[in-house]
Structure 1
Amino acid sequence: MINKLKINNYKSFQEFELDLNSDLNIIIGDNEAGKSTLLEAINLVLTGQLNNRLLQNELSPYLFNINSVRTYLQQLITNAQAELPRISIELYFNNPNNIYSELKGTNNLLRIDTPGVSISIEFDSTYHTEYEAYIQDVSTIKTLPIEYYKVVWRSFAGNSLTSRSIPARSTLIDTSTSKYQNGTDIYLHKILNDSLEPSQRTELAVHYRKLKETFSENQSIATINESLNEKKGNITDKNLNVSVDISSKTNWDKIITAYLDEVPFDYIGKGEQNAIKMKLALESNTDLEAVVLIEEPENHLSLSNLNKLLNIIKTKNENKQLIITTHSSFILNKLDIGRMILLSSEKETTSFNDLEDETREFFMRLPGYDTLRIVLSRKVILVEGPSEDLIVQRAYKDLYGKLPLENGVDIFCIDGLSFKRFIEISANLQKEITIITDNDGDIEQNIHKKYEEYSSNDLVKLHYGLDENLKTLELNIVDANKPNLSILKEILGHPDYTDDRLITYMLNNKTRCALKIFESDKTIQMPRYILNAIEE
């Protein structure tokens, strides 16, 4: 299986390296971080194809990293010998059973003796004369002369490759789009082709050829051909007839499609299409190791069907390396948050293999937590209930004129027992995490002892009321607005309440009171520990 991917100058990746798990990898990141490009690059090296066509037929200047192209064009103005940019993508393999031994060598960017394969798009020196003539007038050159490039596909041993040279089968499934080839889904055809034995593929080809050959023998077709010959006039002196093309360009795998309950595959619902393609890729068994690349498996699937699919992914992954991109916390939690790889917009990666087993199992058992939010947010604030959530949001808006989320600050409302799990994720990210909590009348027990293990962690910021007589948020709000509570009483709709009755009302209606404060056009004083937590 693949243990490392290295990319130079391919699309948004200028210099990039990624270590991969041998079983499951879940790649997450913001839009435009490059998740789709990673899957595309891996599939490209394993198949030699881009968009299901040979890479040589898909060459474009836009495959090159834009910064490398700009550098080349700037250098060319003053230096005719400016080096043309080159794309290189490499896959490094584990080799436990010596199945990749023939691919072993040092022809790689890291110069290490290991099995692997690479594909490059580089200048073809046979066009040296043409290129020299092309760059005579640099003022007309606006992009790369891609016509003078070639594709080099080889192993680390230095040998040229074909798809049969690599003892690993790649299946790329992009659930966000449907791609058809002569009316048939190309992903499905590839999976079906990979799933069939060679003898079965041969048998299909033979029967399909016979079907085409017997087409013209049909009596109705013979009558039509007789009519054509009678009407051909002076067009030709040869026989004119219609039949079926029996050349190789119309092989069975380009015409035959799958049916479900007598309905052609491309006419069934998108969700079922995607689920079937993913299940086929996972179920198929061959002698080759399999790399299954799935982009956003959650697309078009209900939660129940997605859950069924994830159960299959977890149980049908023997001899398969799964690399999945997703925007779904449910997928991340259900499969294993410890197999998450965060890809940032700056092309930096963070793995989570070192998460405690208890944390990984916690999210698997309770996959409803929106863990992606905590990973992708700029700053994280944890609170214990919906009333704290509303008050912190309002305090933030009063201070900065925007809600927290508009500034990349995400507030999580979770029970105190789950704080540890979220803290561990943030610590793994080296991201500051802020906790806002009640002291419940006992600071030593409920604060110091409860969070003792994080007391020396500079990334964990703990904020709470310092007065043990003010056990809850509501009591702290009342205290912050003394001696004049008239505005608070007016906001809550009870201007005639006594102070004691106001406190009782707030304690018995926590969320309702917090919502009124959040929505009010009037401003109150916020407790000092809340303000300390949101100040940056």
Structure 2
Amino acid sequence: MLNKIKLKNFKKFQQGEFQFHAGTNILIGANDAGKSTILKAIDIVLSQTGTDDWRNRSAYGTLMNNQAIQTFLSSDKSVADLPKIQIEAWLDLGTELNSAKFEGMNNSKQKQGQGVLFEFMFDEQFTIDFNQMVDESGDEMNFIPFEFYKATWRTFSGQNYSFRSNPLKSILINNDKTSGDSFSAYSNQLFGSLSLSNRNGIGIALKKALANVSSSTLLAENGLGVDVNRVRPADLLDAYDVNTQDNKLPLRDMGSGTENSVKTTLALKSESILVLVEEPENHLDFSATRQQVKLLQDANSVEGRQLIITTHNPMIASRLNLKNIIWIQENGESKSFEDIDEETATYFSRLDNVDILQVLMAPKLVLVEGPTEYVLMDPMINQVLKNSADQLGIHVISMGGDRYKRYVDLAVYLDHKMLIITDNDGKTGRIEDADQKNDENVKVVMPKDPKHFTFESVLYNENQSFIDEDDNFQSSKNDYWKSHKGLAKKLVYMLDHKVDTALMYFGKFTDEPGLNVPDYIKEGLIWLNTK
């Protein structure tokens, strides 16, 4: 398996080290956090791929960290100051055949281990040329001459490394974008994931078949033949959907969504030990995404198979188990969820209607019990905190009920602030229990008086004069709601039509005069916004 990847001056990472575990690893994070960069680094070091620019695939200088470039340009511009890219893949190959080739101390830590080291660095044979260029350019030199650089791959034992001896037979499925002839590139990746004996067997079988064609009378009579030594299987391969044997359709002729699913299916049926998947949800509708999740879940159950997946899809993150998540943060650090409570992980793996990624990545989170509070939270935040939720970095989620215990577990594990707004349902015990839940990470607020059993009841009580005088608030014919009797008829109407009335008085929190936010919600929002 791949234990970790260590980066130096690679794209956004001046330094970075990311640990992986056996089985499935799910990389989450904001846009530009570096999730795709990590997959790209793994692909370069193990599969010797080029850059994303198919027109100049060996131009690794385009991947050099910008800060490293600027540091050099601000220096005296000596050979010793030139930056280099390093990517180290630390492997665990056990005592498998040929594992000794990968074992040694040829790594940045000079520590015994198994792995492969990629370096893109200055080639010293160009020292005279470089110094001459610096002398001629002086202070006007504003670039690094990557033409004087070289790319090398060596194992930790110091031996030259070739992708043909990739011990994990790794394959990258990039569903995010395509460049160049991506279909041929993918077919070649699949072919490369086969064992050496299988690749050789296919090559020999192809040559035998072509030799028979070459010796045919029709070709010979016309002075034609086939030079079988110039033909490689990789030049002729196309990828096909393995589930449509009777009517084979090449991958290149499929729609983007189907192509995505077929790529994943083929990769998971290949001999690859390490499968890298870039945003498996891309181009898929909800139903197809569920099928894709099932494919990945099945792959997760294959012993010896390792998956590293990037995603922005909450269903993929939760269904493949929160314990497999690695959060790539914007400061370049990562946080594993491997130690999260098993019951909490199982709880969220069964939910499709929760944006778990928003829960995990929001430093300030408001959880509300029902749709009314969810609809009204933005104007209430504006009134209390004099700013919008977006500007304050506050995310609002409806938890669809009062089962907030699992969310509390997440807040404590993440060390994030979480405000939970819920009803007391007329029960004194719930109010007392909520007070015990409060700590530096979590605050649970609800109406403090059991006779005000729900949000609407408190809203009416604290704004009674305004609501009674406003003709927009309609009245019910009844003065009771469920087991609660003797209620104001306008309150009963609010309780019977929660979402409709919430939409109606959405703007009344910003009107002058208008509705006041209930005190218990004010208290919670002020706490949430306090550092």
Q: TM-score, normalised by structure 2?
A: 0.86
Return closer, same or farther for 1:216/1:186 CA change in 2, 3 Å cut-off.
Answer: farther
Check the 8 A contact 1:26/1:323 in 2, yes or no: yes
Question: Where does residue 492 of structure 1 map in the other structure?
Answer: 473
Return closer, same or farther for 1:51/1:15 CA change in 2, 3 Å cut-off.
Answer: closer
Question: Which of 495, 500, 510 is equivalent to 1:512?
Answer: 500
Return closer, same or farther for 1:54/1:112 CA change in 2, 3 Å cut-off.
Answer: farther
Q: Write the distance in 2 (CA, Å) between the matches of 1:176 and 1:85.
A: 30
Which secondary structure state, in structure 1, belongs to the residue aligned with residue 295 of structure 2? helix
Where does 1:126-141 land on structure 2 (aligned, <5 Å)? 126-136=125-135, 137-141=137-141
For residue 211 of structure 1, report the CA deviation from its aligned partner: 7.6
Question: Where does residue 157 of structure 1 map in the other structure?
Answer: 157
Tell me the amino acid that sits aligned with residue 103 of structure 1: F
Which secondary structure state, in structure 1, belongs to the residue aligned with residue 440 of structure 2? coil
Question: Which of 403, 427, 430 is equivalent to 1:418?
Answer: 403
Where does 1:47-446 land on structure 2 (aligned, <5 Å)? 47-51=47-51, 58-76=58-76, 80=78, 83-98=81-96, 100-136=99-135, 137-179=137-179, 181=181, 184-195=183-194, 197-207=198-208, 209-210=210-211, 213=214, 217=218, 222=222, 248=230, 251-259=232-240, 261-285=247-271, 290-316=273-299, 317-399=302-384, 403-405=388-390, 407-443=392-428, 445-446=429-430
Q: Write the distance in 1 (CA, Å) between the matches of 2:53 and 2:468.
A: 73
In the alignment, is residue 474 of structure 1 matched against residue 434 of structure 2? no
Tell me the amino acid that sits aligned with residue 304 of structure 2: N
Q: Write the distance in 2 (CA, Å) between the matches of 1:279 and 1:326.
A: 17
Which secondary structure state, in structure 2, belongs to the residue aligned with residue 85 of structure 1? coil
Return closer, same or farther for 1:215/1:18 CA change in 2, 3 Å cut-off.
Answer: farther
Q: Write the distance in 1 (CA, Å) between the matches of 2:24 and 2:152.
A: 29
Return closer, same or farther for 1:50/1:19 CA change in 2, 3 Å cut-off.
Answer: same
Check the 8 A contact 2:418/2:441 in 1, yes or no: yes
Tell me the amino acid that sits aligned with residue 272 of structure 1: T
For residue 31 of structure 1, report the CA deviation from its aligned partner: 1.1
For residue 12 of structure 1, report the CA deviation from its aligned partner: 0.6
Q: Write the distance in 2 (CA, Å) between the matches of 1:458 and 1:281.
A: 46
In the alignment, is residue 23 of structure 1 matched against residue 6 of structure 2? no
Return closer, same or farther for 1:242/1:57 CA change in 2, 3 Å cut-off.
Answer: farther
Deviations 1:483-516 (CA, angstroms, capped at 9, x unpaired): 44345x3342459999821122222222222221
Q: Write the distance in 2 (CA, Å) between the matches of 1:409 and 1:464.
A: 19
In the alignment, is residue 532 of structure 1 matched against residue 523 of structure 2? yes
Q: Write the distance in 2 (CA, Å) between the matches of 1:270 and 1:390.
A: 36
For residue 212 of structure 1, report the CA deviation from its aligned partner: 7.2
For residue 53 of structure 1, report the CA deviation from its aligned partner: 10
For residue 319 of structure 1, report the CA deviation from its aligned partner: 1.7
Which secondary structure state, in structure 2, belongs to the residue aligned with residue 167 of structure 1? coil
Q: Write the distance in 2 (CA, Å) between the matches of 1:279 and 1:24.
A: 16
Which secondary structure state, in structure 2, belongs to the residue aligned with residue 75 of structure 1? coil
Q: TM-score, normalised by structure 1?
A: 0.86
Q: Write the distance in 1 (CA, Å) between the matches of 2:169 and 2:120.
A: 22
Question: Where does residue 483 of structure 2 map in the other structure?
Answer: none
Return closer, same or farther for 1:208/1:193 CA change in 2, 3 Å cut-off.
Answer: farther
Return closer, same or farther for 1:208/1:320 CA change in 2, 3 Å cut-off.
Answer: same
Q: Write the distance in 1 (CA, Å) between the matches of 2:78 and 2:86.
A: 23
Check the 8 A contact 2:434/2:445 in 1, yes or no: no
Structure 1 residue runs without a partner (length 5+): 223-240
Question: Where does residue 463 of structure 1 map in the other structure?
Answer: 445
Tell me the amino acid that sits aligned with residue 300 of structure 1: H
Q: Write the distance in 2 (CA, Å) between the matches of 1:175 and 1:114.
A: 33
Percent pairwise identity: 27
Residue-pair matches, total: 506
Tell me the amino acid that sits aligned with residue 467 of structure 2: L
Tell me the amino acid that sits aligned with residue 303 of structure 1: F
CA RMSD of aligned residues (A): 3.1
Deviations 1:109-141 (CA, angstroms, capped at 9, x unpaired): 223211121111111111111111111123332
Q: Write the distance in 2 (CA, Å) between the matches of 1:148 and 1:72.
A: 15
For residue 106 of structure 1, report the CA deviation from its aligned partner: 2.0
Deviations 1:334-361 (CA, angstroms, capped at 9, x unpaired): 1111111111222121110111111111
For residue 482 of structure 1, report the CA deviation from its aligned partner: 4.0
Which secondary structure state, in structure 1, belongs to the residue aligned with residue 169 of structure 2? strand
Q: Write the distance in 2 (CA, Å) between the matches of 1:495 and 1:301.
A: 46
Check the 8 A contact 1:298/1:326 in 2, yes or no: yes
